[in-house]
């Protein structure tokens, strides 16, 4: 009898406490997930820049977008949404800065502020196309991350001595970023050679391009009609000197001297940081890094975010003596 009574008491206690435990857990989970998916941030007023006139290169149409929603399309096109949130925030602030710099210093386009081509201005993708390219099970999470990284940094941009910086960025620095003087000419005090370790874990870090001797001759002749090479000569291809970041500064191919950047373009290499080897009938290029290498490295930003850096710290790692307004 006593045992039965104790059992009844135990069951009653269990019936009262279990729902409390579960309900408590459930409401906490619900609260956290609501906070994560729908945060609200104060929207910045960009004054004259509130509306961005975006030129679509494929159609020639100009679309007008609010500044931050324009950046959703830039960040989601420029950086994988699977990256760390702080890396995405750094990308959002840098893309915003790049946009402001382009507009303030004169757009390349007559009736638009900026275009959607990464070869000309910076990449942009519509929400519809972006969502369609993500797997269905990550669509909502990824889009919320993109919106969050832009909205949580709304209005913030990078300045040097009070002025917006020319915020270049690229995919993978191959370990060291490059000075703009070695890519396009010109120099900016905030763009220096910066080291980041850990980028070797990303696809863009190392690649190879093989060019047959015949192909090499054809490609060189297309650019230099007087090109000549004698593959039986030692040093028929030679790297002459390297830049501060160990990219090829100048090289000689046959009777032509050219920069590493030019060789990169002629042979379609991912970066100007390369070595080569002639094996029988083929010239093999082993390439490190992806992109021009100037400014913020996107892969490097993800590495630094994984190490616990905030987006402000990531930006200050890649651009020297800057402030984030």
Q: What is the dihedral of CA 177, 180, 184, 186, to 10 degrees?
A: -170
Nearer to Zn ion, 57 or 159 (CB): 57
Nearer to Zn ion, 99 or 172 (CB): 99
Contact region with Zn ion (CB under 5 A), list: 23-31, 90-98, 101-109, 275-283: 101-109
User: What does 169-204 look like in DSSP terms, one character per residue?
Assistant: EESB-TTB---GGGTTS---TT----B-S-GGGSGG
146 touches Zn ion by CB under 5 A: no
Contact region with Zn ion (CB under 5 A), list: 102-110, 129-137, 160-168, 179-187: 102-110
Find, among 270, 268, 271, 230, the residue nearest to 252 by Cα.
230
The least CB distance from residue 122 to Zn ion, in Å, is: 8
52 touches Zn ion by CB under 5 A: no
294 touches Zn ion by CB under 5 A: no
**Cα(13)–Cα(22) distance, rounded to whole angstroms?**
14
3-state secondary structure of 138: helix
Contact region with Zn ion (CB under 5 A), list: 31-39, 97-105, 117-125, 247-255: 117-125
**What's the token pair of residue 215?**
């192909």
Nearer to Zn ion, 110 or 135 (CB): 110
105 touches Zn ion by CB under 5 A: no
Task: Give, as ranges, the residues between 212 and 271 that touch Zn ion (CB under 5 A).
Answer: none
Find, among 9, 138, 16, 13, the residue nearest to 80 by Cα.
138
288: left (phi over 0), alpha (psi -120 to 50) or beta: beta
Find, among 54, 170, 62, the residue nearest to 116 by Cα.
54
**Cα(180)–Cα(123) distance, rounded to whole angstroms?**
20
The least CB distance from residue 62 to Zn ion, in Å, is: 12
How many C-beta atoms lie closer than 10 Å to residue 304's C-beta? 24
The least CB distance from residue 112 to Zn ion, in Å, is: 8
Q: Where are the alpha helices (DSSP H) in 79-138?
A: 85-104, 127-133
The least CB distance from residue 111 to Zn ion, in Å, is: 12
For 276, list phi and psi in degrees, rounded to 5. Answer: -140, 165
By rule CB under 5 A, what count of residues binds Zn ion? Answer: 4
The least CB distance from residue 57 to Zn ion, in Å, is: 7
18 touches Zn ion by CB under 5 A: no
121 touches Zn ion by CB under 5 A: yes
**Which residue is associated with the tokens 């009777």?**
255
95 touches Zn ion by CB under 5 A: no
Residues in the chain, overall count: 325
Task: Give, as ranges, the residues between 154 and 183 that touch Zn ion (CB under 5 A).
Answer: none
The least CB distance from residue 320 to Zn ion, in Å, is: 27
The least CB distance from residue 258 to Zn ion, in Å, is: 27
The least CB distance from residue 266 to Zn ion, in Å, is: 24
CA atoms within 13 A on the CB side of 256: 20
Nearer to Zn ion, 111 or 235 (CB): 111
115 touches Zn ion by CB under 5 A: yes
Among 11, 120, 132, 138, binds Zn ion (CB under 5 A): 120
Nearer to Zn ion, 109 or 252 (CB): 109
List residues binding Zn ion (CB under 5 A). 108, 115, 120-121
């Amino acid at each position: 009898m006593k045992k039965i009574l104790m059992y009844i008491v135990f069951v009653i206690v269990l019936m009262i406490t279990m729902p409390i435990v579960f309900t408590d857990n459930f409401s906490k989970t619900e609260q956290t997930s609501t906070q994560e998916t729908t945060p609200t941030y104060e929207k910045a007023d960009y004054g004259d820049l509130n509306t961005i006139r975006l030129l679509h290169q494929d159609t020639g149409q100009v679309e007008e977008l609010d500044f931050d929603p324009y950046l959703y399309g830039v960040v989601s096109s420029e950086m994988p949404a699977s990256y760390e949130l702080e890396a995405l925030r750094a990308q959002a602030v840098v893309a915003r800065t790049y946009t402001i710099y382009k507009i303030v210093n004169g757009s390349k386009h007559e009736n638009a502020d900026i275009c959607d081509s990464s070869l000309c201005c910076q990449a942009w993708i519509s929400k519809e196309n972006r969502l369609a390219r993500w797997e269905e099970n990550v669509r909502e999470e990824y889009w919320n991350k993109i919106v969050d990284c832009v909205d949580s940094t709304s209005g913030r941009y990078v300045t040097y001595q009070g002025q917006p910086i020319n915020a270049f960025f690229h995919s993978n620095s191959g370990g060291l970023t490059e000075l703009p003087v070695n890519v396009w000419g010109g120099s900016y005090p905030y763009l220096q050679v910066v080291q980041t370790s850990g980028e070797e874990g990303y696809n863009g870090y190392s690649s190879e391009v093989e060019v047959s001797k015949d192909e090499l001759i054809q490609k060189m002749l297309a650019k230099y009609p007087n090109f000549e090479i004698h593959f039986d000569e030692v040093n028929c291809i030679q790297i002459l000197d390297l830049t501060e970041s160990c990219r090829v500064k100048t090289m000689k191919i046959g009777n032509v001297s050219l920069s590493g950047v030019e060789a990169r373009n002629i042979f379609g290499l991912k970066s100007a940081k390369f070595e080569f080897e002639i094996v029988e009938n083929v010239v093999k290029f082993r390439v490190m890094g992806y992109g021009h290498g100037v400014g913020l490295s996107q892969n490097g930003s993800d590495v630094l975010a994984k190490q616990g850096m905030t987006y402000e710290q990531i930006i200050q790692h890649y651009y020297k003596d800057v402030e984030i307004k």
